[in-house]
Amino acid sequence: MSANDQGLVRRLRSTYEVLAREAAKFGIVGAVAFVTDFGVFNLLRYAGPDGVGVLHHKPLTANVISTVVSILVAWLGNRYWTFRHRHRASAPRELVLFFAMNGVGLLISLVCLGFTYYVLDLRGPVASNVSAKIVGVALGTLFRWWAYRRFVFVEELREEGWEAHPSHGDEEPGSPSTAARTGPEERSAPAQVDDVGRREARPGAA
């Protein structure tokens, strides 16, 4: 194997390691947000005399409140832990986009819960939790993972060489326009990932 091939393998491995770490952290944050969502939802619906909570007969309202709380938990965890080494973009901008993307996830969850509760007339705690907090959350999580990287943390990803919205994907590497854009500050994504790996390896930069 040539030196160039070995360098490529190392960069690909570094890319995988960075993405794997982020995916693991994203999963942990998501788990904490899920427990928050699940707990608040069930407290609002079932924490009361005879298992009747303050929003027992308003499952959609309870779901909105619990989801909003979990969204805030997820944003704080992802900004200050999952993407800690990137958090230099505008926090208000990210928060607005984060809530917007999670709004779509909430809509998915509400559709699942509403269908189960009002159409199928399954109103017990098991049916409500399965539809809203398992099926709905699973579908919403898939959407959010894609949306966070494409829309919410765009500036941070671009700083490390990851184009969320590639606009010149059809150009050849050796074309004049590509060469004109390539400079010392525009390095490949694997090279940028090497830098991320080195920063994360420093003491105290978990």
Q: Which two tokens stand for residue 103?
A: 């709004």
Question: Do the Cβ atoms of 34 and 145 come closer than 8 Å?
Answer: no
Least confident of 14-28, 85-99, 106-120, 159-173: 159-173
Label residue 1 by pLDDT band (50, 70, 90): low
Which secondary structure element, helix H or strand E, spans residue 29, and what is its range?
Answer: helix 3-46
Q: Read out DSSP for 93-115?
A: HHHHHHHHHHHHHHHHHHHHHHI
The confidence score (pLDDT) of residue 206 equals: 44
CB burial class (10 A; 0-12, 13-18, 19+) of residue 202?
A: exposed
Question: Do the Cβ atoms of 78 and 148 come closer than 8 Å?
Answer: yes
Taking 50 as the threshold, does the pLDDT of residue 170 lie above it? no
Taking 50 as the threshold, does the pLDDT of residue 100 lie above it? yes
| Mean pLDDT in residue range 156-169 | 52
pLDDT tens digits, one per residue of 102-159 = 788 889 989 999 999 999 999 889 999 999 889 988 888 788 777 777 776 665 555 5
Q: What is the pTM of this model?
A: 0.61
SS3 state at 140: helix
Q: What is the DSSP letter of 51?
A: G
